[in-house]
Structure formats: C-alpha cells, structure tokens
Amino acid sequence: MTYRINNAEVDAAPFPGQCLRTFLREQGTLGVKKGCDAGDCGACTVHVDGRPVHSCLYPAVRAEGREITTIEGLADGAGLADGEALHPMQQQFLDAQGFQCGFCTAGMVMTAATFDEQQKANLPRNLKGNLCRCTGYRAIEDAVCGHRHTEADTASDGGPRTVGANVAAPAGPDIVTGRARYTLDVPAEELPGLLHLKILRSPHAHARILSIDASAALAVPGVEAVLTHEDAPDQLFSTAQHELHTDDPDDTRVLDSVVRFRGQRVAAVVADTVGAAAAGVRALKVDYEILPAVLDPAAALAPGAPEVHPGTAGNVVAELHSDIGDVDAGLAAADVVHENTYYSQRLQHVALETHGSIASFDDLGRLVVRTSTQVPFLVRRTLCRVFGLKLASVRVLAGRVGGGFGGKQEVLTEDLVALAALKLNRPVQLELTREEQFTATTTRHPFAVKVRAGAAADGTLTALALDVTANTGAYGNHAPGVMFHGCGESVAVYRCANKKVDARSVYTNTLPSGAFRGYGLSQMIFAIESAMDELARGLGMDPLDFRRRNVVALGDRMVSTAPEPAEDVHYGSYGLDQCLELVSTALAAGRQRAETSGAALSVSSELSVSSGAADDGGWLVGEGTAVAMIDTVPPRGHISHAKISLREDGRYGLDVGTAEFGNGTTTVHAQLASTALHTTADRVVIRQSDTDLVDHDTGAYGSTGTVVAGKASLAAAEELATLLKGFAASLFHHTSAQVHLLADAVECGGERVPLADVAARAREEGIDLSAEGRWGGTPRSVAFNVQGFRVAVHAGTGEIRILQSVHAADAGVVVNPLQCRGQIEGGIAQALGAALFEEVRIDAEGTVETRILREYHVPTFADVPRTVIFFADTDDSLGPMGAKSMSESPFNPVAPALANALRDATGIRFARTPFARDRVYLGLRAARVPVEREAAAPAV
Amino acid sequence: MDLPTVSELIRTADPQHWRPGDAWLAGGTVLFSYGSDTLQRLLDLTAAGWEPLAMNDDGLEIAATCTIAELYTFPGAVPPRVRQAWPALDLMQPCCDSFVASFKVWNVSTVGGNICTGLPAGPMTSLAAALDGTALVLSPGGTVRRVPVAELVIGDGRTALAPGELLRSITLPATALRARTAFRRLSLTNLGRSGVLLIGRTDEDGSFVLTVTAATKRPVQLRFPSLPDAAGLGAGLAEAIDAGLWHDDVHGLPAWRRDMTYRLAEEIRAELAAPAPAPEDGSL
C-alpha cells in the first residue's frame, strides 16, 4: 500500500481497524494531536484530498491513494525551517497569538485554512468542531479574521521596551507549524523498544481484591508483564503535589489491594503495542470481595457509615472550625438575614492534552520520566519517596504541556510507568484516553455551603457564618488544601466583626476530587457572593454599593478563619476599588446601548419579582456582579530557582523550573529578564521544566509562574546585569558605572562591544558570566477580580443570553497585556461552562456517566460571548516589576455574577450550578403561579 | 480511535458475508468515535458505489452511504423546478445543522450511519421520519424489506434491524416532499445536541403530520386529517407520548423536554396555520 503524506510517498500499512490519526503519528507527523480521539475536539484535523476531516474518525485504510496533508505540510514547500514562508493562516495565528497552550492550534489552523469568506462570517458554526480550553475563543476569532496583536518590544528610540509590550510567545512559530513537542511527541527512533501500558480499572465502588489471574493476559502475544498490588511498593503517598508533602494525606498506593472507587487502578498490563496491552487487560480475571460503599457525603457522615479508609473516623479527612466575634449576636443585630445552601458541582478540567508519561533510562542509568505535569520537581520527589530512589538517580521533565488547570498538580501516571520501567528495564509509555480522564483522574470538589449572613439597615455586614462540606472522593489528595484555601480569601475580602466557619472534607467511594482552577475559592465565592447579593437586595441597596461598603480597603486586616491575618499577606497594591468602579461604569454604559441593554429583545413588560417570571414568552433582563480576592502566592512555601548566563551567540540563556502549559509565563520570564538586561525578549532563550536545569521549583500552580518563578528569573537577570557590567568595564578599562547594556552589546563612551564578543572574552579570561536567582514565595500580596453581567432569560425555554460581560482585574503592572487578557478571557470561558452546563455526573452506583465530550459539553466558540476586560492601574510592591498573579482568579467571580444576574432578571435565586436551560426553565415554572401550561399539558 | 480488535476490513455490501463480530462500516464516524473491544471485522459499504441521491417522480432515494456533506448541498444543486415542487427539501439544511458534529465530520459521516445509530437526537432520523421516509433493508438471508424510518429507531441506541441486516437506502416519497413544513429545535447549549426536535408538515390534502424526535426515546408521529386547534394538538401529544417515553439523559431533563415539545408543537401549528409566505423568487 502507498500513502501520500505531505507530498511524500510513504510505504506503510495501517492495521485494519486503525484510524488515520495514530497512523499519521506513527509516520512521524506528530503535529497531529489527540484531544478526544472521538471526533469532538478537532485537534487531529488533517486534510484528505484537500478536505478537512477529523483523523481520529477516519479509517486509515481509506486514505490509501489520497493526498493527506497535516500541519507539517500545510505551507507551500513542506518541511519548514526558520525563515520559510508560513501558510497565511499560520501567520495569522502567530500575529494574533490565537493560542495559549497550543495543543488545539494545529487543528484550528488546518480547519480555518480551508475557510472561504462565507465560512469566516459564521465562526460559531464552522469552528464548533474545534475545542480550545484556554483562550475563550476571542484570540482565535482574531486569528482567523486576521487581526494582529503581537508587537516587537523595541521602543521608538531603538532601545528595548519590554514590560507592558505584547511580546509574542517564544513558542509561537513551533506551535503554528506543529513542531512544538508536547509530552508524547517523541519520535519513535528516540525510544527504541518502547512498551505501552494499559490499566484494568475497578468495576466496583469499594472492594477488596482477592485474586488476580494473569495467566491468560500473559499469554497474549506482545504482553511483557502484568503489574498488581503485589508488585507495588507499600509506601503510601498522595497524588497531590505540594512543596511540603506532609500537607497532603498519604492514603494512596501505586496499586492497592483495596479499590475505593469505580475506575480505580486494579492492575496494569505492559505490552509492545497499545492494542496488545488492551487485550491483556481484557484477559485478566479478578476476584473481588465487595465492600459496603458510601457514595455521597451525607452517607459518609452518617453514624456508623463504612469507613473509606480504615481509621479515618467519620470519613472526615480534614476539618476546620473557627469562630470570630459573635455570629449569633451579629445575626440578632441584623435587619436582614439571609440563609441558604449553595451547591457547586463536580467539574472536569478537560485540558486538551490528556495525562501521559514515558519512563525510560538515560546513558547514566537514571530513570527519566517525561510527563504532562505542572510540577516536575515535585513529581521527582514523590517518585523517589515511593520507590526509594535517590534524587540524583531520577530526572523528570515536561515538554510543552497541553493545558493543566490544576489537573496536572497530581501524580496520576508517572508512578505506574516508573514501576513498569523499573521492573522491565525498558521504556514504558502510558497515555490516558479521554474516557479515562473523565472516569479516573481528578475533578473539582463538589461543595455544599450553608450560608447564614446578616446586614444592618445602614448596609453593614454584621455576621457571616458558613457550614461547608466538600466531597474529596475516594482519596484525600488535595482535600485539606482546597478546604482551607476555599475558606480563606473568600471570607477575608469582607470586613465583618462576626465570622464563623465550620468546614469538613469527606471521603466517599467516588472519583477523587483534586486541584482545580480556583482551588476551593470558586465554590465558596459562589455561595458568599450570592448571599451578599441577597443581603443587598433585602436592604434595597445596589449590590455594588453594598460591596463597596463591606469589602476590605487598603490596610484593613484580612481575617478569615483565624483571629489574626496571615503574617505574610500584605497589600502590595490594592485595586479592588478601581475594579468595582470599572465594572459599575461599564454596566451603566451598557444600559444605554441597545445591543447590550436588552432593548433589542422583546422584553417582558411584567418584569417583577413577585410575578416570578409570569410571562411565559418574554425575555427577562437582569444584572449581576461578584467580587473575588486571591493571595498572589499559595501559603506554606513556594520556591523557585533560576539560572541565567550569557551564551556564546551573545544571547542570554535562562533556565527555569516552572512549566509552560499555556499560562504564558515563558514570555513573561523573557520580558522580565530582558528588562533587567536592557535587551529584547527574543534575545532571552528559555529552557524550562526539567529537573536537570535548576535546583528546585515547586511548580506552576497557585498562579505562581509570574510572581514566584518570575521573581527568581528577575533576580538572576539583575545579578547577571551587574556582573556583566563589571566585566565589561574591565574590557573598556573604565568603571562599571559608565558601562551601559544595549540589546546586543555593551557600550562605554561611544565604544561598543557585541555581546558575543563579550562572551568570547569572558571565556578566554576564565570568567563565568552567569547568575542565579531564588525566591521563596513570601511575602505575598493580594489580587482582585470583579465580574459583571447583564443577561436576558427566556422564561419560556430557560435560555440565558449574555447581553454584556465585563471583567475588571487587578493584576498589578501587566507585563504582557495580550497574554494577561487571554488568561482572563480563558478563565471566564471555563467558568461560563461551569456556570451554564458542565457537570461530571456520577450515578447511584458510583459510575461516572459523562465519559465523552459529547456528554460533558465544554464551551465551543458558539457558547462564549466576548467579555470586555479592564485592568486596574496598580503597581505591586511585592511582585516582579509590580506584577501580580492572574491565572486562576478570573474564574472565581463568574458563576455568582451570573447567578445574581439571573436573580435580578427572574426574581428567583438559583443556588445550584450549572444553570442549564432545563433547570432554569423548571425553576421558573415552579415559581410561576398558576402554571399556565399545566392546563394544556396533562400531568405525566 | 483505533479499533485494535479488528483483524480484517472487507469491502462488501452483501449481507451474506456478515457473521457475528462484524460491523457494517459506512463513514465510520460512530464506530471510530465510540470504539469497540469486541469487533472482529469491518464490512465496508462505501466500496459499493451507491448513487448518493437519486430522484424520480415518486420521490428521492438517499443511499445509506450518502454523506451529510452531500445531503447538505443537494437542495442548492437541484433544478429550480424541483426545488419549487418539493419545498420540503428546505428541511435538509436545518436538519444537517442539528448535528452536534462539525462540518468536517459531515465530509465522512453518512445518512444511514446516523439512522442506524438510533440516537433519539439523530437528525437524519428526524428528517427521514418527518417526511415518511421508508428504509430499504437487506437481510442476511437474501431477503429485502421496507420499514418506515419512524419505526426503524425503536429506542435510545436501538433499532429494528436484526443482526447482519443492512440499511441500503431511505426513500422520501414525493407526496411528503411536496408538503409545507415547519422546523423547531432546542438544545441546552448553542448549536449543541438537540434536546427537542420537532418537524411539522401539511400535505397537499390538508392533513397535518407532527414528528417529535430528540425529546422522546424514539420518533413519535401524530397525524391529523387537518390542522388541529391548540387544544386538539395538546390532547394529541398527551395521548401519543407516555410519561416513560420522554428521553432522559444529559442533554435535557424529561420535564423540560416535555414542556418544550408542547411549546414547539404549538409554534409549528401556528406557523402552518398562517398563510404560506410567498416564495422568495415570487415566481408562483
């Protein structure tokens, strides 16, 4: 058989059931990505005879004799090298920076490259087969339509102007051409003898494994090994990863003899192909002793409930009780009291790149694990602890990571490939399927938050009491951290003399929860911001005025669950007042414009709370807002180390530990370092996320890529600048004070020496022009986000239309406005999915029901309205060059702002996310008296 | 995704070749999307070379292997007199646009594949059922049978096809193609999977046919000799749809689907009760 791929004949034969996607990857076109493997995400889009298809759905044998084009061959003259022409659509994605992690980009480009003008005019329809989880699609729209945003960081005088410039991401050219290497994009020749691992998963919510008969599996041709709990180390660990491993409960084994949720690992089969490993899994015979299971927190907390982990009394893995002031007195003094319970659902991250890793051995005999992680250094430490290895004998690295959102602050594949590789002394790969992502990785913690809050007639918040139950699922991983963090800034942002928090995180026999963008704050802020809105309404106050009156102002003590504020959290800057004003002003302006006011819709005339949306046919319009505060760095240690040196080519080489998964920190590091070195960002060459590069980095979580790792990079660059000037002074026989650093040279008294020559001279002299920087993640500052919506709700169908969406962010000095805006837009889009329709559903037996992307809908282009983003004008005294974190936090105020708008429009408080159309409609119907339609439709 | 247990792909459209463990392969977009760890052989129908769309005076025969992309462009490609004679062709594009799958998938996926998948929200089932389409089914014994599409899909993911049976084509009768139609659809998300999809049709003899799909586990058809009033339509729905027939999955709660069915049915009734808008070219 012959296949033509990118104008070249390939002599290869796919197997009969093979899809084109895996066949193309076997032929080395690794730009063809797997996002879902089921035709939903479009990351694998290629052209067959010029027409775009999802290669994961395309039988490979059908491509025989046809012309196949992948991202690598899109541009005229396949085999691009630097400087060669790009396809116009590739150039447009570069110019608009229509990507963040970039995992979807090849598919986006391959799809959009086929569009005519008519198709470009209807992107909601024509891009519905291309999912992006990072950007919120505005950047993609701009790319497809040819709007340029990136800019050079050269000022008008020719000097550098780095911080504040929309410098392009360094990886851009690799991303738009498909050359960027994600976790599993390793050419086959680099990993001879690679084996593949597949997992047998538990069909029971709680069971003891009595026996595993592996004989039939071992007889499957190609199967090399079967691994069970008998092969696994006894060492308990937590899949959660933090600077202090003692923060997370050690309750997990690599393979356990007891399974505690449906989907948990039972055994692993290692074989020379994925298909053989899967056949081996099917051939395993396991005897289970079924154990009693608890499937929700109520059952788990009931007296005498079975223990998910023996010895954990009452199944409570972590709890928190605090009582500041006198809540009962505060409620008694209130003129308005609000009491309600708010529920936040289980969510999946849906990073487009699934979890995956490869364990192999290097020439030194070290175990090398290449993995899709946010925390390579912590993964190394955990592997060493579990397998009893020395740090020096293990290297962990991440390629480019295809999205994280907290899901990759977790060891979910690395331990198994390490176990298999150590046993077989061969390289082993594990790639999770999209279904495994849904059924066996981690999720956002479901929260139930009972709020009691009171306010006095003058608008003073007099009491805030919270009773919180979080469901951590079968393992405790991030349970304590999420619970504590959730109850932190959400409570501390309000000045209130009387605050009480009772919180617990509970084991159940369900899929484990874990770290998720917001880390507990989104669930708590949903409850608290909904309650604040109710208090304001009860008092007849504008909800924004109510917040202005009660939020912390600059200098106020930030108190949440301890009488004293955290010692190391300071107002490095304060922009909440500006954010409130920006949103208030924008919403007011929106009321005056027909396209955002709702005037263009046929709005119900009977818009009154008491009528409960009586008009069945009309659009009800309302506004809602919410605020969110976040500490710029997580507590309890977050450490970064960076190294920088002058390279022989005259550019700077910066090594950092933190990972790049679309957060854009690589660009920010280049901008920070180049500013210190008076050069342009493109002259800073960054290597990252590899334990061989630097001493340590806690990792990219808690929005630390800029404010911790960036601070280390900046410190290193500043020190190198001093060293460099000192050395250069010796070249000019002057003092360092008179030496200036230029973009590509040093200058003294009109004399210039190119940096490459400086590097050569230093080498001759035996001078080491390199420096290091470290930052320990403390003291910390606070960042703020305020979201505002105006929505129209159709009482007859439950549809919510977002008429206006505005968001104000206090990110300190914005190092790269283009990227920061992208982070915020992406956070809002992800939060809209969470607020409107996303939900991981688990049935009464503990089986995850939402197993594919068609059952777990994530926002498509058509689902995401444009949001106008405003930045507060602040300059943080603690962050690098005045910057603050802005990764997780834009997510947090979105659901409550939407709930408050829904309340304003309909008079009904929706206390459970998501606000799906069916639930909104039924909520309105239940409130409608009498229910008009009931007469026509006999009860069923 | 890969189907690793498949050991053979055979190009055949002969039901005699079918044996247990085989699957008919049309576009493949369902088989390769859901995957399988039991299938042994794929029997590839696309090699049969069936004409995708064949018109005659009696109606339109759509081959099972006709791609969605071919169907989508068909109404725009027929001669104007056909378009005028068969106004129900206007349903084809909105039905195609009801796929949650993108236009790229349409380049491969087929009309027959969608119907045989048996999803309540299968838009080709909606289209073919609403126009009284008849399925031509070839059986392993060499026999041939015809089944109304409305009766071919019998439940969520279930069809009346016996093992080894093969859907050859769908014939849409000219009487239905000459009808005036109205289309309504709702989804929980913009452009998402249909939660409710209703098509109404008034034939030349004045009779009214309402086809409910997506909201119910299988297609439900209501037939009235003439356009009913609102109460008559509501009573007809109540009689035709038992409580247990409302579909319940992540794409909509049954109570919502029920109320939306009543709502959209009434919208369709009202639209068809109003005088027909003049054709755009004004030639009639």
Q: Are A287 and A223 in contact (CB under 8 A)?
A: no
- pLDDT tens string A417-455: 999 999 999 999 999 999 999 999 999 999 999 999 999
Residue percentage of chain A with pLDDT more than 70: 96
**Three-class SS of A252-304:** ECCCCCEECCCCCEEEEEEECCHHHHHHHHHHCEEEEEECCCCCCHHHHHCCC
What does the H/E/C string look like for A112-166?
HCCCCHHHHCCHHHHCCCCCCCCCCCHHHHHHHHCCCCCCCCECCCCCECCCCCC
* Per-residue pLDDT tens over the stretch A892-901: 999 999 999 9
Contact call for residues A373 and A381 (beta carbons, < 8 A): no
Percent helix / strand / coil, chain A, rounded to 5: 30, 25, 45
Same domain, B165 and B101: yes
How many structural domains are present in chain B?
3
Provide the token pair at A471.
């469901």
Q: Do B59 and B163 share a structural domain? A: yes
A312 interface with B at CB cutoff 8 Å: no
Give the residue from A650, A696, A656, A641 showing the smallest Cα distance to A677.
A650
Same domain? For B153 and B100 the reply is yes
Based on the fold, state whether residues B162 and B188 are members of the same structural domain. Answer: no
Q: A940 pLDDT exceeds 50? A: no
Note whether residue B2 is domain-resident. no
Res. A735 pLDDT band, cuts 50 70 90: low
Query: Same domain for B58 and B169?
Result: yes
Cα distance between residue B73 and residue A352, in whole Å: 32
Total length of chain A = 940
Distance CA A909, CA A914 (A): 13
Q: Same structural domain for residues B72 and B23?
A: no
Instruction: With a cut of 90, say whether residue A184 has pLDDT above it.
Output: yes
- Count Cβ atoms within 10 A of the Cβ of residue A231 and give its class: 0-12 exposed, 13-18 middle, 19 or more buried: middle
| pLDDT number for residue A935 | 38
In a domain, B88, yes or no: yes
Q: Structural domain of residue B193, as residue ranges? A: 180-273
* B143 and B82 within one domain: yes
Contacting residues of A for B46, CB less than 8 Å apart: 62
In whole angstroms, what is the distance from residue A934 CA to residue A938 CA? Answer: 6
Tell me if chain B has a CB within 8 Å of the CB of A56.
yes
Q: Do B78 and B163 lie in a common domain?
A: yes
Please give the full DSSP string across A765-797, using - where no structure is assigned. HT---EEEEEE---SB-EEEEEEEEEEEEETTT
Name residues 555-594 of chain A within 8 A of B (Cβ). Answer: none
Give the pLDDT of residue A162: 82
Return the bridge partners of B159, or none: B153
Q: How many Å is the maximal CA-CA distance in chain A?
A: 97
Does a structural domain hold residue B28?
Answer: yes
Both B166 and B199 in a single domain? no
The mean pLDDT of A778-798, rounded to a whole number, is 96
Among B110, B138, B173, identify where a domain stops: B173
Q: Is B193 found in the same domain as B121?
A: no
Q: Burial letters for A837-848: b for 16+ Cβ neighbours within 10 Å, e otherwise?
A: bbbbebeeebbb
Choosing from B114, B142, B173, the residue where a domain stops is: B173
Dihedral pair phi/psi, residue A373, rounded to 5°: -140, 155
pTM (whole model) above 0.80: yes
Residue range A537-554: mean pLDDT, rounded: 98
Those residues whose C-beta lies under 8 Å from the C-beta of residue A399, and which sit 6 or more positions away, are: A181, A182, A183, A185, A370
Cβ contact, residue pair A16, B25, below 8 Å:
no
pLDDT value at position A76? Answer: 67
Low-confidence residues of chain B: pLDDT under 50: 282-284
pLDDT greater than 70 at residue A734: no
Question: Within 10 A of A86 (CB to CB), how many other CB atoms are there?
Answer: 18
**pLDDT of A932 higher than 50:** no
In this structure, is residue B48 part of a structural domain?
no
What average pLDDT does the segment A802-819 reach? 97
CATH number, domain with residue B198: 3.30.390.50
Residues 6+ apart with CB under 8 A from A402: A33, A101, A102, A103, A182, A183, A351, A352, A353, A372, A661, A662
Closest-CA distance of chain A to residue B274, Å: 19
pLDDT at residue A736, rounded to an integer: 64
Q: Mean pLDDT over residues A197-206, rounded? A: 98
User: Which tokens in the block code for residue A360?
Assistant: 């192999």
Average pLDDT over residues A172-180: 96
* DSSP conformation class of A27: T
Instruction: Report whether pLDDT(A261) > 60.
Output: yes
Asked if B162 and B185 sit in the same domain, the reply is no
Question: Looking at residue A548, what is its pLDDT?
Answer: 98
> In this complex, how many residue pairs, one in chain A and one in chain B, have their CB atoms less than 8 Å apart?
178
Output the pLDDT for position B283.
44
Instruction: Classify burial at A523, counting beta carbons within 10 Å of its beta carbon; exposed 0-12, middle 13-18, buried 19 or more.
Output: buried
Three-state DSSP at A313 gives: helix
Phi, psi of A442 (to 5 degrees): -110, 170
Q: What CATH number is attached to the domain comprising B163?
A: 3.30.465.10
B4 CB within 8 Å of a chain A CB: yes
Has residue A83 got a pLDDT over 90?
no
CA dihedral B54, B59, B62, B67 (to 10 degrees): 80
Residue keyed to tokens 């229509």:
A98
Q: Which residues of A399-412 are buried (b: 16+ CB within 10 A; e: fewer)?
A: bbbbbbbbbbbbbb
Last residue of a domain, one of B155, B173, B191: B173
Residue pLDDT, tens place only, B42-96: 999 999 999 999 999 999 999 999 999 999 999 999 999 999 999 999 999 999 9
A705 to chain B, minimum CA–CA distance in Å?
34
Closest CA to A880 of A153, A155, A162, A158: A162
pLDDT on residue A605: 43
Per-residue pLDDT for A938 more than 50? Answer: no
Neighbours of A246 (CB within 10 A): 9
Hey, which residues 110-169 in chain B have their CB within 8 Å of chain A?
Answer: none
Query: Closest Cα of chain A to B73: distance in Å?
Result: 15
**Distance separating alpha carbons of residues A247 and A378, to the nearest angstrom:** 13
| Predicted confidence (pLDDT) per residue in A450-506, tens digit | 999 999 999 999 999 999 999 999 999 999 999 999 999 999 999 999 999 999 999
Residue B23 within any structural domain of the chain: yes
pLDDT at site A616 = 54
- Looking at beta carbons, which residues of chain A come within 8 Å of B28? 57-59, 62
- In a domain? residue B1: no
How far apart, in Å, do the first and last CA atoms of chain A sit?
59
CB within 8 Å: A54 and B105? yes
* Residue A915 pLDDT greater than 80, yes or no: yes
The closest CB to that of B186, out of A278, A797, A860, belongs to A797
Q: Is B114 contained in some domain?
A: yes
Min CA distance, A38 vs chain B (Å)?
4
